[in-house]
């Protein structure tokens, strides 16, 4: 008996701990399954194309004096779930280098408008980079470094609902065409650290259920069946008031009474005639 009670107590405690375990998991955090950072010109050292270092922003080269544009493409494997509401979605990027600093510049998140592969991004020619849509979020990135975040809920909502194809997103200067001396790089100094990888968190709400009453299909209303033929009523003698006899019965009675009176009259007439004959002289 004690062993059964202990097992029951353990089971109840385990069930009570499930909500705490789930709450501790927090929102889903996913890493990009495709990522590449590109430069529009040779920086003079290091790589201008990288899957570990992610530059974004615009600046002027100190040696060539050319305008240099930086862009990072990230793709996150977000599942399509029509009818589900995205309550929150945040892009997290760790920035550990900024040029020329100190200072900062607005950096934006853009939806990518066409599919791409890491190997297919032509980082030699900026005109061949995957096209971007209008910016969906902007944050001030500073030379202080650290984690920076962008609210991308609306973009992720479009991915989840299927309203927009998920070609990923890109980090670039808030003004794509402006050339300013502001350039940031994520993981340039910590490319080997798994703790500085960019990631996406998002939360899902209760599925939005839209109930649409079905339109009834037109059905053919059957014609009302013809009423069955009414049987010919059998004549029923109508009762005469206060007699209790039918009209047919009364007529027969009158006939018999009249016949009796006629025969009685004939009999009396003959009897009277016989008497008259017997008394004549």
Q: Which residue's entry shows tokens 């899957």?
A: 51
- 92 pLDDT band, cuts 50/70/90, is very high
What contacts 249, CB < 8 A, 6 or more positions away?
237
pLDDT for the residue 263: 63
Write out the DSSP string of 110-168. Answer: EEB-S---TTT--TT-GGGSPPB-S--EEEEEETT-EEEEEE-HHHHHHHHHTSS----
pLDDT for the residue 158: 98
Write down all domains in the chain, each with its CATH number in brackets: 26-204 (2.60.120)
- Cβ proximity of 141 and 95 under 8 Å: yes
pLDDT for the residue 215: 53
Size of the chain, expressed as the number of residues it contains: 281
Beta carbons within 10 angstroms of residue 161's beta carbon? 16
Task: Report pTM.
Answer: 0.65
pLDDT for the residue 65: 85
pLDDT for the residue 221: 42
- 73 pLDDT band, cuts 50/70/90, is very high
CA distances from 108 to 72, 91, 105, 257 (A): 11, 11, 10, 127
- Give the DSSP H/E element, type plus range, for residue 16: helix 2-25
- 187 pLDDT band, cuts 50/70/90, is very high
Q: State the DSSP code for 203.
A: E
């Amino acid at each position: 008996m004690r062993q059964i009670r202990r097992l029951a107590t353990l089971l109840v405690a385990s069930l009570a701990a499930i909500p705490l375990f789930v709450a501790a998991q927090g929102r889903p955090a996913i890493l990009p399954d495709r990522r590449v950072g590109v430069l529009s010109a040779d920086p003079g050292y290091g790589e201008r194309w990288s899957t570990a270092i992610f530059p974004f922003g615009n600046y002027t080269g100190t040696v060539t004096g050319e305008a240099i544009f930086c862009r990072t493409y990230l793709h996150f494997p977000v599942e399509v779930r029509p009818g589900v509401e995205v309550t929150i979605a945040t892009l997290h990027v760790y920035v550990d280098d900024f040029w020329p600093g100190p200072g900062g510049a607005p950096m934006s998140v853009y939806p990518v408008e066409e599919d791409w592969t890491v190997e297919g991004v032509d980082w030699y020619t900026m005109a061949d980079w995957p096209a971007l849509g209008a910016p969906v979020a902007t944050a001030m990135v500073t030379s202080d470094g650290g984690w920076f975040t962008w609210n991308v809920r609306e973009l992720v909502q479009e991915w989840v609902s299927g309203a927009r194809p998920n070609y990923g997103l890109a980090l670039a200067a808030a003004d794509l065409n402006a050339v300013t001396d502001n350039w940031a790089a994520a993981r340039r100094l910590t490319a080997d650290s798994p703790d500085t990888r960019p990631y996406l968190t998002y939360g899902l709400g209760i599925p939005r259920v839209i109930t649409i009453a079905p339109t009834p299909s037109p059905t053919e209303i059957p014609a009302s069946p013809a009423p069955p033929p009414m049987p010919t009523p059998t004549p029923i003698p109508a009762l005469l008031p206060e007699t209790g006899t039918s009209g047919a019965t009364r007529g027969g009675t009158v006939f018999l009474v009249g016949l009796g009176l006629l025969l009685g009259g004939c009999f009396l007439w003959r009897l009277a005639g016989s008497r008259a004959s017997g008394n004549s002289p």
